[in-house]
Structures are given as structure tokens and as C-alpha cells.
Structure 1
Amino acid sequence: MTDPQRPQYQDELIGDFGTPITGDPALPVPLRRVVAAIDRGSELIGYAVSVCILFLTAVIIFEVISRGVFGAPTMWAYDLSYMLYGTIFMLGAAVTLRFGGHIRTDIFFAKFPPRTQAAIDIAFYLLLFIPGMWLFLVVGYDKALHAFVTGERSGLSPWRPLLWPYRAVIPLTSLLLIVQAVSEILKRVSVFYGSGQHGHE
């Protein structure tokens, strides 16, 4: 029977979708709760992003009708549409990582035993992924702060919206990915120090 306290560890290679990965020993209860909280947070952000998709669709439909039927294009639809699209694309990255949806080359990786997969993933997250996201976080924060201080505006349309909210999406996304990476590392640690088996408890 599945422990309700145990988060559902999901990855397209290490575990079946929706199937908890079990280690021996399993993660301590506090770490399970950390994993569950991080994963749930990413899922909630994913739900919010899905609402933004509906908003983006409404903006485009409104612009098409205004331009095609009434001959009165808006000043704001272009800027708003690319900003919404960029925000959706970026903020959806963490929940995509949570469900193992990012592209990965698995020609050889899929043939390795679970513990080897876990070790490779841990090394990747610690040596490449988190440092890379930290760099994006620092650089993105500087650019967003500069846009806020200077009142930078878009020059792509007469609407000329402020750019700092849009620029802030990059450091925010980087932070969310780092946090989700912590969850992914803990899942791999559970496999690496466990029996290497996975399935239902």
C-alpha cells in the first residue's frame, strides 16, 4: 500500500509515470515533505500558467476581430501576446522538469541500471544545471533591476509597456528551476542509496 506521506517520484526513465520510486532506505520523512512541497508548488505554478494560455488566446482573438472586422487594431495586443507567450514558456519549465518532460538524449542512459542513472543525474544537476541556472538568475536579476530603475519601455509598439515585469520572468524561472532541481536530486539520492528498485509499495 502506498504511503500517503510519500511524494510521487516521477521520471520518464528512472520511474514509471505516476509510480513512486522506492529506495532502501527511503528518504527520511522531513525530506519526503520537502520533495512533496516543491513538487506541489511547481504543479500550482503550472496551473497558473495554463490560465495564462487562455488569456493569451483571448488577446489574440480580440485582436483578430478588432483588426479584421472593425478595422481598428489595438496598440497593446502585439506586446501583450509576446510577453504572455514568453512568460508561459519560461514559467512552465519547472513543472515540465518535475514531470520529466524536457528533452534528453537517452540512447545509452536508458540502458543503465537505476542507481547509475541516479548518479549521472545527480552529477548533472550539481555540476551543470544548478550553476547554469544560477548564472541566468544573477544576469537576469541585473537586467530586470536595471529595467525597473531606468523605467525601460518596449519600443515595438505605440503602447510602449514597461519591460521590467517581463524581464523579471527570467530570474524567477531560474529560481524555480533551481528549487525543482533540489527535489529531483533528493529523488535520485533515494534511488542511489536505496536498493535501486522502484515500483509500488
Structure 2
Amino acid sequence: MPRVILGYIRAIDAMNYFIGRFAMYLLFVLVGVLLWSSVSKTLFTSSHWTLETAQFVMVAYYVLGGPYSLQLGSNVRMDLFYGGWSVRQRAWFDAFTVLFLMFYLGVLLYGGINSFAYSLGRPYNATTYEFLSELLSTLFSQGFDAAGDKLGFMERSNSPWRPYLWPVKSLLCIGVFLMLLQSLAEFFRDIGRIRGEAL
């Protein structure tokens, strides 16, 4: 394998390992939020923020832990035939099926970016690319206040707490992008196994 591909695999694996290990500890945050929700419902007036915060933490745990799970090979597989195949046969099958995963993740990322732009108040007459590129160029050239003026009516949840939705939608886009990068690394790793190289 070329050194560029080996470097890519090592860099993506290291990044997703670090992020995945961080995401594992979000379960403790989730337990704390749900524990507070139970205590506040029993002893005090119930907190409106606990259920949605628990959902947001679970989204972060799931989408940031996905690439790490793929890296470790701990994703769910149908093992009817796969378990009896040789390493090379598995690599051929994995290299073929990961292309479908990358296509799915690409479509999911496209929809996620559009949803993220909508949550920031993208006007109906602007495309997502135009809106986000103008927002970022304004942010870097004129600062936060000028970029804030470009934002439209920002999407909020319909719950009584009414949090903004752009943080969780941006986190979803980041997680899907990381999963796409890890899928590409797995594809390269499978090609290496087909060629008889251990990566």
C-alpha cells in the first residue's frame, strides 16, 4: 500500500479512537441527567430540560461512537455464511459492502447538512452551499456579530424548554462525516487484506 493511504488509515483510526473513547463516557452524563430527572420528579417540580438533554446526549454517544465501533469491528453482522469464510473472502465481501455504506452515509450527510442549514435560518431563496459559505466567510472576515446578522430565524424544539436545534444537528453532521472517513479507511484496509498485506 502507498504510504499516503497508510498514513490516512493511521490518522483516521487515531482520531476516531480518541473521539470514541470520549463518547463512551457520555453514558455517565446520560445516567446523571436521567437520575436528576427521577429525583426532580419525585422531590421537586419536574425539570423540562432533562428529557431533551438525555436525547441530545444519546445522539452524541451514538454518532460519535459509531466510527469507533466500526474501527473495532463490533458492528452487528449476519454471520450465517461470513463466519466460515477465509480472511480474503471476508475482505472481498467487506470491500464490496462498504461501498453501499459510504453511499448511504453520503446521502445522510447531504440531508444532515441541509437540515443543519435550515436550523440556522437558511432563507428559502438561497441554497445550502451559498448560505453556509457566506456565513463562514462573514464569520472569518468580520467576526461573530456580523455572522449573527446573517442568521435567520433559528429552529427551536417544540417542547416547553425550547432549545436551539443547531448544536445537535451539527453534531450529527460531524458524526456522519467521521463515520464516512472511517468507512473509507476500512475500505483501504480490506483492499490491503485482499492483497495479503496486514494493515
Is TM-score (shorter-chain normalized) higher than 0.5? yes
After superposition, where does 1:97-176 map in structure 2 within 5 Å? 97-126=70-99, 128-149=100-121, 150-156=153-159, 158-176=160-178
More helix by share: 2
Unaligned 5+ runs, structure 2: 122-152
> Is the counterpart of residue 86 in structure 1 residue 59 in structure 2?
yes
Aligned with residue 15 of structure 2, among 41, 51, 60: 41
Which secondary structure does the structure 1 equivalent of 2:120 belong to?
A: helix
Deviation per residue, 1:96-151 (Å, 9 max, x gap): 1001111111211222222221111111112x111110000001110111011131
Please give the TM-score of this superposition, normalised by the length of structure 1: 0.77
Give the corresponding residue for 2:150. Answer: none
Matched residues, percent identical? 22
Letter in 2 for 1:133: L
Give the corresponding residue for 1:184. Answer: 186
Provide the aligned C-alpha RMSD in A: 1.9
Runs (4 or more) in structure 1 with deviation over 3 Å come to: 27-30
CA–CA distance in structure 1, aligned partners of residues 36 and 85 of structure 2: 51
Deviation per residue, 1:37-93 (Å, 9 max, x gap): 111111111122123222222212222222212x22212111111111122122211
Count residues with an aligned counterpart.
168
CA–CA distance in structure 1, aligned partners of residues 62 and 5 of structure 2: 29
CA–CA distance in structure 2, aligned partners of residues 107 and 78 of structure 1: 39
Deviation per residue, 1:9-41 (Å, 9 max, x gap): xxxxxxxxxxxxxxxxxx344432221211111
Higher relative contact order (CA 8 A, sep 6+): 1
Which secondary structure does the structure 1 equivalent of 2:196 belong to?
A: coil
Which secondary structure does the structure 2 equivalent of 1:168 belong to?
A: helix
